[in-house]
Amino acid sequence: MYSLHKTIKKTVKSEKGFVFLVALMAVIVLIAIGFFALTTISEEMMISFRLTGERKAFSAAESGAYASAANIAVYDTLSTPAGSDTVLYTFPRTYIDPDNDPYASYTGKVYWVRSISTEGFSYEYNFSQDLFKTIITGKDSNYGSSVSIEVGVSDTPGLTEDTIYKH
């Protein structure tokens, strides 16, 4: 019995098992922290990737809006359709900067909405102007992102008729 008691006392005073458990717990904690860091970094990279793609696609759509406003004189030369929301013009796929960013492009359609009477320019004449709705889709094929915007565009008022109203 004395020998068994001496062996148990010697085993209880040994720290070899305790050090092993502490080292094992430290490794488990470090693995958990590493897994958490890897997951967080992956999520942040995906968010950054998506935001960059959407910004590039929105920039492409914005370029299409500027092109729509710049080409308003072309829409006026087209025949005025009988019905509202008739497609007047379709933008083909246009690349913004093919040399520096060959992935960003836009497409779009211009719809005639209606012609409105415009007052306030002169009390002697009638003026009118056409309203156009432009739906533009900007795309960035590198990021796989797409953004659609709708822009209202109007031409400058013009004389409706040659009649002069005198009071």
Cα 11 from chain centroid (whole Å): 67
Residues of the chain with pLDDT under 70: 1-16, 75-85, 118-126, 156-167
Task: Locate the domains of the chain by residue range.
Answer: 63-167
At residue 114, the pLDDT reads 74
Which residue's entry shows tokens 């960003």?
104
> What one-character DSSP code corresponds to residue 88?
E
At residue 84, the pLDDT reads 65
Structure tokens belonging to residue 83: 């019905």
At residue 164, the pLDDT reads 53
At residue 30, the pLDDT reads 94
Cβ–Cβ under 8 Å, residues 157 and 130: no
* Encoded amino acid at 109, one letter: K
pLDDT digits (tens, 9 = 90+) for 57-100: 998 999 888 888 887 777 666 666 656 667 777 888 888 888 88
Q: How far apart are CA 50 and CA 151, in angstroms?
A: 24
Tally Cβ neighbours within 10 Å of residue 106. 27
Burial per residue of 130-158, b for 16 or more beta-carbon CB atoms within 10 angstroms, e otherwise: bebbbbbbbbbeebebbbebebebeeebe
Task: Map residue 144 onto helix, strand or coil.
Answer: coil
Task: Map residue 32 onto helix, strand or coil.
Answer: helix
Cβ–Cβ under 8 Å, residues 84 and 99: no
* Encoded amino acid at 130, one letter: D
At residue 39, the pLDDT reads 86
